[in-house]
Structure formats: structure tokens, C-alpha cells
Amino acid sequence: MSKYFLILVLSILLFLSGCSIFGGNQKDAYKKSRATGNLEAPPELVIPETDTNYKVPDVVRASEVGNGSRTAGVATASGVVPEYESVTLERDGQLRWLHVKAAPEQIWQPLVNFWQQQEVKLEETDRALGIMRTEWIKSVRAENRGKISALFSKALGSIAGAELKEQYKIRVERVEDGSNIYLTYQATEKVFEETLSGESGPAHWQMRPADPEAEAEMLVRIQQYIAKL
């Protein structure tokens, strides 16, 4: 009985010693694998360099822009419809106007100078009311209403049925943080009556419909002029 017991004890000891040997090797191998550095590519494989052009841009929080910790500029590198902090074009439906961060007395003379630069005389100026009105400007109407270059050509000659007279009125209004500039455009067209024989008869002047696009175009020109002073 003691002989078989001794054999059993020896078998158990041999089994336990074998487990400790193999188990210890696996644990050490795992530890070594964790301590290994970055994977290395085979010699024949070329690792491309990181392209910094595709980095994710920083996130700008609204609070950072508001408190001035970052510069919130407008991209105007192309020069197309640039924005100006001192003179902004405002809009409410069809109504457009300029808001200027300056008092009416500061922008009055620049407005007068603008029309002088365009070689357009002012028919009426009233500083107390903040109103200035141009003379009737003679021009030859283009089919799509008048490019401003044609408007200021003041051509004396005209094509039958296409002669146009245009006028602009500016109203300057004082507001809490500066001034608002409102502009009104009106035009009258020379129309020839047709006789029964189909020939051109007497001519008369006929008012043209309102043209918000003409007003918007002129406002932008005034905006650019004042902003660059």
C-alpha cells in the first residue's frame, strides 16, 4: 500500500512541476511582448511620411470669438464683395441701406465728394434734413437696365426709344451708433409714339418701374468709397 502511495505522490509532484515550468514561460513571453516598441516594417516596405496638409483644424468656440481670444476675420483674399467693419450693407426684404459707424456730419462731405468724383452734379442738398438729390443724368439704356458705366457716361446722343434720364436721392439718418444712408433711384424713359403708318411720332417721357438692383449697386459703390477713406 505504501509502495502505491509513494508512486502516486511522485506522479503528482512531477505533474505540478511541469505546469509551473510551461506556465512561467508563457507569462514571461507575454510580458516581453508588452514591452516591445513600435512595430517595424520589413526592409522592402516603404513607410509614407505623414502629410501635414490634412491635419484637422482647431475647433473655435463661440466664447473664444466673442471675448477676442481669437481673430474672427472675413476671407476676402479674392477681393470679391469685400466686407468692411466701418460701413455695412443692411437689408430688410427689398429695402437696403448702409450703416456707417460715424456721425452724419462726418460722412456728409464724403458723400458730396463721391458724386463729384462721378461727375454728377447735385441738384439739391439740405444738411438739416440730411437729403441730397442728383441732377437728372442722361444716358443710353442697356437692355438689362443700365450698367452704371453707361449711367455715368452722360451721353448726349441717344438711340431712338432708348434715351434714359436717371436720378438718385440720398437720405442720411442719425442713429444711436452712427448713421444710416438710404438711397432712392428713379428713372424716366423717352418713348416715341407710333403713328398709323408705322413711323415714329411725337415722343414723351415715361416713368420706369422701381429698380431695387440699381439702388443696391449704387449703395455698394458708396460703401466702397466711404470705407476706403
pLDDT tens, position by position, 139-177: 865 544 444 444 444 433 334 446 899 999 999 999 999
pLDDT in tens, 173-214: 999 999 999 999 999 998 888 777 777 778 889 999 999 999
Domains and CATH numbers, the chain: 86-227 (3.30.530.50)
Q: What is the pTM (predicted TM-score) of this model? A: 0.57
Cα–Cα distance measured from residue 75 to residue 72, given in angstroms and rounded to the nearest whole number: 10
pLDDT of residue 14: 67
Cα–Cα distance measured from residue 86 to residue 103, given in angstroms and rounded to the nearest whole number: 12
Cα–Cα distance measured from residue 104 to residue 126, given in angstroms and rounded to the nearest whole number: 12
Cα–Cα distance measured from residue 43 to residue 131, given in angstroms and rounded to the nearest whole number: 82
pLDDT at position 121 over 50: yes
Cβ pair 166, 136 in contact under 8 A: yes
Cα–Cα distance measured from residue 227 to residue 99, given in angstroms and rounded to the nearest whole number: 11
**CA-based Rg of the chain, rounded to a whole angstrom?**
41
SS3 state at 12: helix
pLDDT of residue 194: 77
pLDDT at position 131 over 60: yes
The torsion angle over the Cα atoms of residues 118, 119, 124 and 129, rounded to 10 degrees, is 30
pLDDT of residue 100: 98
Cα–Cα distance measured from residue 121 to residue 134, given in angstroms and rounded to the nearest whole number: 6
Cell triple for 127: 444738411
What does the pLDDT average to over 50-76?
35
Cell triple for 21: 515550468
pLDDT at position 59 over 60: no
Cα–Cα distance measured from residue 187 to residue 163, given in angstroms and rounded to the nearest whole number: 10
Cα–Cα distance measured from residue 163 to residue 203, given in angstroms and rounded to the nearest whole number: 11
Q: What is the rounded average pLDDT for all residues in the chain?
A: 73
Q: Is 41 exposed, middle or buried (0-12, 13-18, 19+ CB in 10 A)?
A: exposed
pLDDT of residue 201: 75
Q: Is 228 exposed, middle or buried (0-12, 13-18, 19+ CB in 10 A)?
A: exposed
Cα–Cα distance measured from residue 133 to residue 122, given in angstroms and rounded to the nearest whole number: 6
pLDDT at position 70 over 50: no
More confident residue, 163 or 121: 121
Angle 196-202-206 (CA atoms, 0-180°, nearest 5)?
Answer: 110
What does the pLDDT average to over 65-93?
63
Q: Of all residues in the chain, what percent carry a pLDDT higher than 70?
A: 56
| Confidence at 65, pLDDT banded by 50, 70, 90 | very low
204 pairs with which residues across the strands? 191
Q: DSSP secondary-structure letter at 145?
A: S
pLDDT of residue 166: 96
Q: DSSP secondary-structure letter at 52?
A: G
